[in-house]
Amino acid sequence: MPFFQFKKIAIVVCSLSFFSSIQGGAMSQVPKANEDEALVVMSPLPDPLARADGSLITDAKDWPEQRARWMKLIAEHEYGFAPSEKADVRWELVEEGLMNENKTKRQQFVVHIKTQAASIDVDLAFFTPNRSGKPKGTFLGLNFQGNHTVDSAPELRIPKGWVGNDAKIGVTENRASEMGRGSQDRRWPIAEITERGYAVATAYYGDLDPDYDDGFKNGVHSLFPNHVASAEHRDRWGSIAGWAWGLSRLMDVLLQQPSVDADRVAVIGHSRLGKTSLWAGATDPRFSLVFVNNSGCGGAALERRNFGETVARINTSFPHWFCPKFKDYNQNEAAMPFDQHTIVACIAPRPVYIASATKDLWADPKGEYLGGWYASPVYKLLGYSGLPSETPPAADISVGDRIGYHNRTGAHDILSFDWQQFMNFADRHWKYLK
């Protein structure tokens, strides 16, 4: 069987992790979201093994050149190119202590990222098992509302800059407070992670780039004012590429910590930050494992399925997430020169794990699974296996080898069940690293 074969008002659109108010009539031009599998009509997918001339690569030695071609296309048409200039990255330890009945060591760093144009500061929280020897590995991911929300420890620092809320995007004042302390601990089960022998590091995503459309002038974009996306430069980085670039700068800091094994650092993300972890994993091969949770449109889900959130909807709701050129594919997904499975393929041969939730139809669980399935031929070419079948598994069953997948019962979130599968996956793959 061949591998490769949707008057002026203000409405509120649910986009994965929270609601966004959309002003004006743009969304009225977007067809109603489809959440009926029977109505999916998917145009043919590009074959990740097909060269530009249509011929197929059949030798693993040809994959690096093919991968480079895909990465250039994906950056140019979706996430945007990050600047090639380097930034100066420095860090200082500002607090450390014990928590979780002294079973977990906590360290807090302020990371200074500077160019000739500007500088930003990012708070990085780092949790390790309080025991002798290095952790089994380290998970690095961004959080949505501040480091103080991932655990109730009173020492965790509150963000000083922009913090929006779950009802409205574009609010420029800081809404973080003590009331939020520990409010996101279900998404960051620090005790479970460290008791399994793993370390986990996290930073607030708004420290890297505030999540509202200001014409790419704040956050990491301010560091490179000559590399701002514009009508003349429609292929320059959006916020997702900015957050991914920021994760790589945090990786720079982690690699300087004696408790971190450079061969065992994973990037992880949920929702829009799952899109981010996918792109960070593709662009930075230092991440030896990549975890992508409920990432949907612009993440692991195939765009051509037109199920749940679509390219037109996400570009209208969040015009700053992607490069301006991505808007060319609003209601025009078939014209894309790639689809999201090619991004998953670009992580090969490193392991990647994709996770969905049964009630999260907006993120298209089947499309997320197929994003991994259609990347599997690349892993096979490189001598590994990916997902076992074109048919997704039953709920709460983890499947796959170098590409892992599960569809957790429940809604759009990242919970203990997800983390347990991720750590099981890390147990398997990091165990055999040389």
What SS3 string covers the chain? CCCCCCCCCCEEEEECCEEEEECCCHHHHCCCCCCCHHHCCCCCCCCCCECCCCCECCCHHHHHHHHHHHHHHHHHHHHCECCCCCCEEEEEEEEEEEECCCCEEEEEEEEEEECCCCEEEEEEEEEEECCCCCCCCEEEEEECCCHHHCCCCCCCCCCCCCECCCCCCCCCCECCCHHHCCCCCCCCCHHHHHHCCCEEEEEEHHHHCCCCCCCCCCHHHHHCHHHCCCCCCCCECCHHHHHHHHHHHHHHHHCCCCCCCCCCEEEEEECHHHHHHHHHHHHCCCCCEEEEECCCCCCCCCHHHCCCCCHHHHHHHCCCCCCHHHHHHCCCHHHCCCCHHHHHHCCCCCCEEEEEECCCHHHCHHHHHHHHHCCHHHHHHCCCCCCCCCCCCCCCCCEECCEEEEEECCCCCCCHHHHHHHHHHHHHHHHCCC
Digit-by-digit pLDDT tens for the chain (434 residues) are 444 443 333 323 333 333 333 434 556 678 889 999 999 999 999 999 999 999 999 999 999 999 999 999 999 999 999 999 999 999 999 999 999 999 999 999 999 999 999 999 999 999 999 999 999 999 999 999 999 999 999 999 999 988 875 434 455 567 778 889 999 999 999 999 999 999 999 999 999 999 999 899 999 999 999 999 999 999 999 999 999 999 999 999 999 999 999 999 999 999 999 999 999 999 999 999 999 999 999 999 999 999 999 999 999 999 999 999 999 999 999 999 999 999 999 999 999 999 999 999 999 999 999 999 999 999 999 999 999 999 999 999 999 999 999 999 999 999 999 999 999 999 999 986 54
Inter-helix orientation angle 272-283/239-254, to 10° = 60
φ/ψ (deg, to 5) at 22: -115, 120
Strands 104-114 and 138-143: unpaired
Q: Residue for token digits 């690569």?
A: 57
> Domain 131-431: which topology?
Rossmann fold (3.40.50)
Sequence letter at residue 283: T
**Mind telling me the catalytic residues?**
271, 412
Q: What is the pTM of this model?
A: 0.93
Q: How far apart are CA 187 and CA 183, in angstroms?
A: 9
CA-CA-CA-CA torsion sign (237, 242, 246, 248): negative
